[in-house]
Amino acid sequence: MPIKLSPREKKLVVIALGFVAFFVFYQVLLAPKLDQIGRLRVQVQKARLELKIAEGKINILDALEKEVGGRLPEESPALREKRALGILMSLSRTVLKSGLNLVSIEPIIAEGQEKKFRLFCFGNYNQLYGFLMILQDLPGVVIIDSLEISGEGDQEPVLNINMSLTAYD
Q: Within 13 Å and on the Cβ side, how many CA atoms surround 147? A: 8
pLDDT for res 44: 94
Same domain for 86 and 66 = no
Do 126 and 156 lie in a common domain? yes
- Residues 88, 154 share a domain: yes
The whole-model pTM stands at: 0.52
Q: Are residues 68 and 83 in the same domain?
A: no
101 or 83: which carries more pLDDT confidence?
Answer: 101
Do 95 and 46 belong together in one domain?
no
153 phi/psi in degrees, rounded to 5: 110, 160
Same-domain pairing of 21 and 44: yes
pLDDT score, position 47 = 92
What is the per-residue pLDDT for 163?
93
Total tally of structural domains belonging to the chain: 2
The answer on 89 and 28 residing in a single domain is no
Residues 84 and 125 in one domain: yes
Are both 120 and 157 inside the same structural domain? yes
Structure confidence by residue, pLDDT tens digits, 45-76: 999 999 999 898 898 888 888 877 655 556 66
CATH classification of the domain holding 133: 3.30.70.60
Q: Are 130 and 83 in contact (CB under 8 A)?
A: no
Reported as a single tens digit per residue, the pLDDT across 124-152 is 888 989 999 988 888 778 888 899 998 87
Residue at a domain's end among 29, 48, 72? 72
Domain boundary residue, one of 54, 72, 90 = 72
> Do 4 and 43 share a structural domain?
yes
Phi and psi of 76, rounded to 5°? -75, 155
> Among 72, 105, 129, where does a domain finish?
72
Residue 116: burial class (beta carbons within 10 Å; 0-12, 13-18, 19+) = middle
100 contacts: CB under 8 Å, gap ≥ 6: 121, 122, 123, 127, 128, 131, 161
Same domain? For 46 and 121 the reply is: no
Nearest to 169 by CA among 94, 107, 110, 83: 83
Q: Which domain holds residue 81?
A: 77-168
Average pLDDT, the chain: 86
